[in-house]
Amino acid sequence: MEETTAVRHEAQTGTRFGTRRQGASAGWARRQLRALSNVDPALRRSWLPVARAATVVTSPTKAWLLGQPFVELPDIGAFGEESRVRVDLEPFSGRYGAALLIDNQLDVAHFAYLHRDTFASPDGRAAPSREIVRQLWGFETKMTVPISARNDPAVAPEDHPVEQDRTTRYRYLAPFSVELELTYPAMGGSNVIVFFVQPETAERSAMYVTLLLEQPGGFAPDALADRVASEHRVVGEDLALQERFDDLAMPLDVTTECHVRVHRASLKLRRVLAQIVHAP
């Protein structure tokens, strides 16, 4: 008979532990499932973005690694694409949980309630289905999302409809990076947005955001400034929610939170991070 119990208690500041019995077939094996804080010792065994994401493509991998690493740096092709305009936003530093910042970027369910003033479309309330392809220490997923393309300059003269589709590709690599490719079939062009998060203390993290932008005809200075301002507004909407969290650690026991089908990427994120925590 399968019997599962989960018990949580505060074991030490910033770290929660739970104990799960995995059933008779597992010999009542007990394993600890903890919440991942910014200062979890397991993070020492994977790379962290200790400097600007800018140097990812120029620094030798070893220079980025702390201790004995087992996660390689992401290889992001858009950094080398000459057609793209690169903009490094000023780092966003504050009272943030590193894993929670990444979870936010992977979540598609928040568009409808958090980004109503920027790109969320009324047609996007039902989250799209998506396949998730697991990779070593990460995963990739792609979907089409309805958006309100208020940042499309062709909307005002009614050359394009405001309601458009956007193809979104996410690539997550542990511990704290997301490469996001946003392709706009109606507007043309695509944005690649690279997020690296650096935990700084138990209660602080810095998020480094690099925009790699491309559109037909390139960007006039005003158009580029408008696009960057638009991305700032979107990030600001995300961070306003993150700043309201009391607990900055991410539960790795997936029974701690109430997950639904649309959280598949979030569940995968927790499982990848749990792999790092439990690696021998």
Token pair 């990848």 is found at 272
Instruction: Give the nearer residue to Fe ion in terms of CB position, either 16 or 268.
Output: 268
Nearest approach, Cβ of 110 to Fe ion (angstroms)?
Answer: 6
Nearest approach, Cβ of 177 to Fe ion (angstroms)?
Answer: 16
Contact by Cβ (8 Å): 204, 96: yes
Instruction: Give the nearer residue to Fe ion in terms of CB position, either 137 or 196.
Output: 196
List the one residue from 40, 152, 231, 238 that touches Fe ion (CB under 5 A): 238
Piece in contact with Fe ion (CB under 5 A), picked from 31-39, 46-54, 59-67, 232-240: 232-240
Nearest approach, Cβ of 109 to Fe ion (angstroms)?
Answer: 10
Instruction: Give the nearer residue to Fe ion in terms of CB position, either 46 or 205.
Output: 205
Q: Is residue 246 exposed (0-12), middle (13-18) or buried (19+ Cβ within 10 Å)?
A: exposed
DSSP 228: H
Q: How many residues bind Fe ion (CB under 5 A)?
A: 1
Contact by Cβ (8 Å): 113, 228: no
Nearest approach, Cβ of 162 to Fe ion (angstroms)?
Answer: 19
Instruction: Give the nearer residue to Fe ion in terms of CB position, either 92 or 137.
Output: 92
Which residue's beta carbon is nearest to the bound Fe ion? 238
Under rule CB under 5 A, which residues in 248-267 are in contact with Fe ion?
none
Contact by Cβ (8 Å): 172, 106: yes
Nearest approach, Cβ of 207 to Fe ion (angstroms)?
Answer: 12
Q: Could you tell me the sign of the dihedral formed by the alpha carbons of 153, 86, 213, 142, in that order? A: negative
Instruction: Give the nearer residue to Fe ion in terms of CB position, either 179 or 238.
Output: 238
DSSP 120: B
Contacts 24+ apart (CB under 8 A), 44-48: 45/69, 45/70, 45/276, 45/279, 46/70, 46/71, 46/137, 46/174, 46/175, 46/276, 47/71, 47/72, 47/73, 47/175, 48/175, 48/176, 48/198, 48/199
Would you give the distance in Å from CA 146 to the centre of its chain? 20
Residue-wise DSSP of 91-113: PEEES--HHHHHHHHH-STTHHH
Instruction: Give the nearer residue to Fe ion in terms of CB position, either 28 or 245.
Output: 245
* Token pair for 156: 């005002």
Piece in contact with Fe ion (CB under 5 A), picked from 20-28, 76-84, 204-212, 237-245: 237-245
Site membership for Fe ion, residue 214 (CB under 5 A): no
Instruction: Give the nearer residue to Fe ion in terms of CB position, either 152 or 238.
Output: 238
Nearest approach, Cβ of 104 to Fe ion (angstroms)?
Answer: 6
Token pair 């700084």 is found at 200
Nearest approach, Cβ of 184 to Fe ion (angstroms)?
Answer: 17
Piece in contact with Fe ion (CB under 5 A), picked from 78-86, 138-146, 203-211, 231-239: 231-239
Q: Which residues bind to Fe ion, rule: CB under 5 A?
A: 238
